[in-house]
């Protein structure tokens, strides 16, 4: 379902001890992925040359059934309105056994932080980051 949404950037996951960057899927129950461990030659931008280094020789495939359930999903939105639209679409399409939940607020004890060994209570926050 997530790969059908235009807001989806992909997901990171794979199988035990082997990570992949999933970029799409096929109707044949297969995920399309790039292997981040495979590198390309660098491009000398001072010389006009073929752009072959910007492309893969092939796209890898993996059956959904071979996927480890530990995944990091990536979505991008520029505005709060676009973010709200993404949340609405995700809520509409969640299956009966969803792989994630969408919460309207922080869990009750998320800010129940304990002082570190220096006795200072800290709570790190990045205003540009949303946890869904």
Q: Which of 16-20, 57-61, 70-74, 128-132 has the lowest mean pLDDT?
A: 128-132
What is the arithmetic mean of pLDDT over 11-18? Answer: 83
What is the arithmetic mean of pLDDT over 92-99? Answer: 78
Q: Report if pTM > 0.85.
A: no
pLDDT given for residue 26 in this prediction: 92
Domain range summary for the chain, segments of one domain joined by +: 2-77
- CB-based burial label for 34 (10 Å; 0-12, 13-18, 19+): middle
- Average pLDDT value for the chain: 79
Q: Closest by alpha carbon to 77, among 132, 34, 1?
A: 132
Q: Is 80 exceeded by the pLDDT of residue 25?
A: yes
CA distance 36 to 95: 30
Q: What band does 71 get if pLDDT is binned at 50, 70 and 90?
A: confident
CA distance 50 to 40: 13
């Amino acid at each position: 379902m997530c790969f059908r949404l235009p807001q989806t950037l992909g997901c990171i996951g794979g199988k035990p001890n082997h990570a992949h960057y999933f970029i799409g899927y096929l109707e044949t129950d297969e995920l399309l992925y790039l292997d981040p461990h495979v590198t390309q030659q660098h491009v000398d931008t001072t010389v006009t040359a073929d752009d072959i280094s910007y492309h893969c020789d092939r796209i890898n495939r993996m059956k959904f059934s071979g996927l480890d359930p530990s995944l990091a999903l990536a979505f991008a939105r520029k505005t709060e309105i676009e973010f709200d639209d993404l949340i609405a679409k995700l809520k509409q399409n969640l299956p009966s056994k969803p792989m994630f939940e969408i919460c309207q607020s922080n869990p009750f004890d998320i800010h129940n932080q304990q002082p570190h060994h220096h006795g200072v209570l800290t709570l790190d926050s990045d205003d540009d980051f949303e946890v869904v």
